[in-house]
């Protein structure tokens, strides 16, 4: 590096010297108060008392972020009222600098006239979900009979899923593979030739690509007569719009048997109520069984 | 040493550096929030904080700022920081007029290039340290820094050739 360049940069350094560290008290107080009072009205007044008073708007932005961090600290330290906290479990495995910022909700339906109540909610550290982001999903199958929550640590590479189908038991599985519901994964699969473009069209008023998985040339999947899934994505953002799965239908024909509609993507604040949705609350104190 | 003691030691040793890093890249008001978020993350990940704490914290601060960038808040703030015309970003009183050309040239760079130069010039990190802040290999950083320096020189020349940019009175607002 040219010393002259460095000298020039140093001369225009707007903060030539490190400022003294601000008192740690407000930060510690904020941390402790949130640990003990979060979710209660008393916590609000306590936060107000220690919040940086310069700008109320900034504080309003700051408090939810702090709340998320502190809630995660709380969960990681064994809190959570006996509920199994998926968010905390996922966050144990991710790199620093992340925080749950967005909640994306989706809704699914089944093809062939049979509608199944399947609600998917997704939390992600980025929107649209991207490579190196963290994604948490909650799926309720039927009238709360079973709950599946998945935490994708790195989309397309590794994820963990927690499945609560039996009272008192939560099954945990770590898996690797491709999940075609992450933007980065879809892009990567397309670049790698694992998806081909069927056509570009319009759906619900927006331009979309219809993509289809390219079966491998060798292996059992290559000999399968199964029609590969068709994935419809937004032409500009690659956000998934629809995922069409084929299976045996009447007269032995392969027909769409399950269509996953990604209906709404809504950004929600990381409030305790929203974060609580990724807790397996059906079985407080449930035993976690490792599968695979 | 308990977690609380270690956290307080970490804060005492590096809060100033983190705050300075943030103030150099965003408004003073937002910098306080960035620093608080960095140390809350540090608290949550205290067991993972490596020995070179400052570099790790700066890396976290960089990511926190990067997250903010999505709303263009940070770009606007950085523009204000780099814009010599604005009171909040005025260079030191003893700086020469030619230094304001440096700010203009910096503002013309791509973010990757600018950050590489600023880590060296403002944070005074070594290539190895700067690479770790950015999460890349030292060799990769050296290449990036070399190219950034070259583009910086071109940007300086362009500033010289652009009517008005060498004059304090007519600095453009939209420089990023």
B94-120 pLDDT, tens digit each:
444 557 788 888 888 888 899 999 999
Q: Give the residue with greater pLDDT, A128 vs B44.
A: B44
B141 CB near a chain A CB, below 8 Å?
A: no
**Which has the closest alpha carbon to A84: A270, A273, A287?**
A287
pLDDT of residue A195: 82
Residues of A in Cβ contact (< 8 Å) with B34: none
What is the C-alpha separation between B70 and B110, in angstroms, rounded? 16
**Residue-level pLDDT at B86:** 28
Of the options 1.10.3210.10, 3.30.43.10, 1.10.10.10, 3.90.550.10, the CATH number for the domain spanning B90-160: 1.10.10.10
8-state DSSP, A141: E
- What is the per-residue pLDDT for B144? 93
Long-range contacts, stretch A30-38, CB < 8 angstroms, 24+ apart: A30/A66, A30/A70, A30/B36, A31/A70, A31/A73, A31/B40, A31/B43, A34/A66, A34/A67, A34/A70, A34/A71, A34/A74, A35/A70, A35/A73, A35/A74, A38/A67, A38/A70, A38/A71, A38/A74, A38/A272
**Does residue A57 belong to the interface with chain B, where contact is any CB pair within 8 Å?**
no
pLDDT of residue A96: 47
- Per-residue confidence (pLDDT) for residue B172, from 0 to 100: 23
CATH of range B3-80; options 1.10.1740, 3.10.105, 3.30.200, 3.30.1120? 1.10.1740
Residue B83: which region, alpha, beta or left (left: phi > 0; alpha: psi -120 to 50)? beta
Mean pLDDT estimate for chain B = 75
Q: Quick: pLDDT tens for B115-145.
A: 999 999 999 999 999 999 999 999 999 999 9
Residue B58 clears pLDDT 80, i.e. is over it: yes
Residue A56 forms contact with B (CB below 8 Å): no
Task: Please report residues of A whose CB lies closer than 8 A to that of B12.
Answer: 21, 24
Residue B51 pLDDT greater than 60, yes or no: yes
For residue A142, the tally of other CB atoms under 10 A from its CB is: 9
Residue range B19-29: average pLDDT?
86
- Whether A208 and A202 have beta carbons less than 8 Å apart is answered as yes
Q: What is the pLDDT of residue B32?
A: 82
Do residue A33 and residue A125 come from a single domain? no
Domain count, chain A: 2
What are the mean pLDDT values of chain A's consecutive 10-residue runs (292 residues total)?
A: 76 86 73 46 31 40 46 36 60 49 49 51 57 60 57 57 70 65 68 81 87 72 65 81 74 70 58 64 65 65
Give the one of B23, B44, B45 whose C-beta lies nearest to A15's C-beta.
Answer: B23
Q: How many CA atoms lie within 13 A of A265 on its CB side?
A: 14
Q: Which domain holds residue A188?
A: 100-142+178-271
Are A195 and A53 in the same domain?
Answer: no
Residues A108 and A245 occupy one common structural domain: yes
CATH code of A138's domain: 2.50.20
Within a 10 A sphere around the Cβ of A164, how many other Cβ atoms?
21
* From-to residues of CATH 1.10.10.10 in chain B: 90-160
- B147, pLDDT greater than 90: yes
Kindly report which listed range (B31-35, B36-40, B90-94) carries the lowest average pLDDT score. Answer: B90-94
């Amino acid at each position: 590096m040219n010393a002259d360049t460095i000298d020039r940069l140093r001369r225009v350094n707007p903060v030539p010297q490190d400022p003294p560290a601000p008192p740690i008290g407000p930060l510690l107080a904020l941390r402790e108060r949130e640990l003990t009072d979060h979710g209660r009205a008393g916590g609000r007044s306590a936060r107000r008392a220690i919040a940086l008073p310069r700008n109320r708007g900034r504080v309003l932005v700051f408090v939810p972020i702090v709340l998320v961090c502190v809630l995660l600290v709380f969960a990681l330290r064994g809190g959570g009222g006996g509920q199994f906290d998926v968010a905390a479990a996922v966050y144990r495995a991710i790199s620093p600098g992340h925080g749950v910022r967005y909640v994306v909700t989706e809704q699914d339906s089944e093809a062939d006239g049979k509608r199944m109540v399947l609600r998917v909610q997704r939390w992600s550290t980025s929107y649209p979900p991207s490579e190196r982001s963290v994604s948490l999903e909650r799926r309720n199958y039927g009238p709360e009979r079973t709950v599946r929550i998945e935490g994708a640590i790195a989309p397309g590479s590794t994820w963990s899923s927690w499945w609560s189908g039996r009272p008192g038991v939560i099954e945990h599985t770590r898996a690797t593979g491709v999940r075609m519901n992450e933007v980065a994964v879809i892009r990567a699969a397309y670049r790698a030739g694992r998806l081909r473009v069927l056509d570009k069209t319009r759906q619900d008023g927006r331009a979309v690509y219809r993509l289809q998985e390219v079966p491998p040339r060798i292996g059992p999947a290559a000999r399968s007569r199964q029609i590969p899934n068709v994935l419809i994505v937004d032409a500009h953002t690659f956000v998934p719009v629809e995922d069409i799965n084929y299976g045996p239908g009447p007269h032995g024909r392969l027909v769409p048997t399950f269509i996953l509609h990604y209906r709404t993507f809504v950004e929600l604040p990381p409030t305790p109520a929203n974060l609580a949705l990724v807790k397996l609350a059906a079985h407080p104190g449930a035993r976690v069984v490792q599968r695979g | 040493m308990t977690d609380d003691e270690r956290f307080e030691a970490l804060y005492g040793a590096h809060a100033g550096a983190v705050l300075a890093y943030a103030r150099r890249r965003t408004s003073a008001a937002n910098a306080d929030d960035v620093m608080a978020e960095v140390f809350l993350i540090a608290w949550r990940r205290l067991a993972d904080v490596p020995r070179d704490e400052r570099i790790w914290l700066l890396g976290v601060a960089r990511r926190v700022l990067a997250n903010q960038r999505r709303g263009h808040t940070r770009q606007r703030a950085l523009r204000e920081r780099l814009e010599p015309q604005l009171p909040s970003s005025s260079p030191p009183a003893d700086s020469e007029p030619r230094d304001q050309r440096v700010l203009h040239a910096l503002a013309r760079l791509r973010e990757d290039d600018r950050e590489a130069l600023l880590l060296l010039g403002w944070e005074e990190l070594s290539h190895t340290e700067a690479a770790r802040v950015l999460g890349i290999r030292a060799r990769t950083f050296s290449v990036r820094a070399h190219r950034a320096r070259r583009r910086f020189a071109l940007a300086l020349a362009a500033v010289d050739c652009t009517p008005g940019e060498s004059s304090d009175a007519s600095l453009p607002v939209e420089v990023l």
